[in-house]
């Protein structure tokens, strides 16, 4: 999005409309474009309510525009108006089933909905399935470099849907753009672990373990699960150097020592 160009277009349109006092022509697609650009401009300025009003005027001026309704969905999504965003995105797809932005917002909406704690198993399955459907279409229809946010979300959804191989593919695309993203590496490690490839899960986290206590702890868990108990003990010890009062890390280190039959060492750890 070229916001400077949009702002110039808004200013030009405002001058054109302001140059004719009392101008009262019927709304046309050019009116829709003016209100569309004004909506973007107002959101950038931090006036979300006015931006939404401008976009709604744009939609009224051009009722067949899927792009305007997708823009409304995006603004509502960013304002955490998820039900309204879903409705606007569906309206956009009713006008153009291939609208990329509408698929983007629906995919993100359903992915977030899948994480609600009060969901039943059936609801989680439904939201995950719908998220995957829309995210796949958004990615397939996008131009330019891959969108890391969409691929990250899709990768997580694939793993939840017991399709970790596809999750690995999507998350590796994210790391090709952001190789030191802790969240992407945690998600990729989880996908590898879901396939039983614990060594790949461990190596994925090694790159960021020294900079992320969470990644370090997860790496220790995968090492313990892989039977690499001495390595797990060493990893938990590294974690305790940065978090010396972490009861969770202390218990995990004691458990690893016991599993490795290092009973005296476990007792020493317990006394610390």
Q: Residue 5: pLDDT above 90?
A: no
Given this model, what pLDDT does residue 144 score?
Answer: 86
Q: Residue 8: pLDDT above 80?
A: no
Q: Residue 11: pLDDT above 50?
A: no
- The rounded distance, in Å, linking the Cα atoms of 73 and 87 is 8
Contact 109, 85 (CB under 8 A): yes
- The rounded distance, in Å, linking the Cα atoms of 9 and 101 is 22
> Considering only CA atoms, which of 244, 239, 236, 243 is closest in space to residue 262?
236
Lowest mean pLDDT of 79-83, 142-146, 193-197, 228-232, name the range: 142-146
DSSP letter assigned to residue 27: P
Q: How far out from the chain centre does Cα 23 lie?
A: 45
Contact 38, 59 (CB under 8 A): no
**Residues 17-45: tens digit of each pLDDT:** 333 333 233 455 578 889 999 999 999 99
pTM: 0.84
**Residues 65-105: tens digit of each pLDDT:** 999 999 999 999 999 999 999 999 999 999 999 999 999 99
Lowest mean pLDDT of 4-13, 48-57, 70-79, 160-169, name the range: 4-13
DSSP letter assigned to residue 161: T
Phi, psi of 81 (to 5 degrees): -100, 70
Lowest mean pLDDT of 68-77, 84-93, 137-146, 214-223, name the range: 137-146
Q: Residue 168: pLDDT above 80?
A: yes
Share above pLDDT 90 across residues of the chain, in percent, rounded to a whole number: 85
CA torsion, ordered 234, 235, 237, 241, to nearest 10 deg: 140
């Amino acid at each position: 999005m070229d916001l400077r160009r949009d702002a110039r277009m808004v200013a030009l349109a405002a001058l054109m409309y302001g140059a004719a006092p009392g101008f009262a022509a019927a709304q046309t697609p050019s009116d829709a474009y003016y209100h569309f650009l004004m909506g973007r401009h107002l959101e950038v300025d931090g006036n979300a309510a006015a931006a939404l009003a401008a976009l709604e005027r744009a939609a009224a001026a051009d009722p067949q525009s899927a792009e305007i309704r997708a823009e409304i969905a995006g603004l509502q999504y960013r304002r955490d108006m998820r039900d309204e965003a879903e409705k606007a995105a569906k309206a956009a797809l009713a006008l153009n089933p291939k609208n990329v932005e509408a698929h983007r917002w629906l995919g993100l909406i359903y992915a977030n909905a899948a994480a609600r704690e009060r969901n039943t198993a059936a609801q989680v399955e439904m939201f995950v399935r719908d998220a995957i459907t829309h995210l796949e279409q958004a990615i397939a229809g996008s131009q330019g470099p891959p969108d890391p946010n969409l691929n990250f979300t899709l990768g997580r959804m694939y793993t939840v849907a017991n399709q970790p191989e596809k999750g690995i593919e999507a998350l590796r695309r994210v790391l090709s753009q952001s190789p030191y993203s802790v969240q992407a590496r945690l998600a990729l490690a989880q996908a590898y672990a879901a396939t039983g490839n614990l060594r790949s899960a461990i190596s994925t986290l090694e790159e960021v373990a020294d900079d992320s206590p969470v990644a370090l702890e997860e790496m220790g868990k995968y090492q313990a699960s892989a039977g690499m108990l001495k390595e797990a003990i060493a990893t938990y010890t590294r974690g305790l150097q940065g978090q010396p009062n972490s009861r969770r890390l202390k218990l995990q280190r004691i458990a690893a020592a016991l599993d490795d039959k290092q009973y005296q060492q476990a007792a020493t750890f317990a006394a610390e």
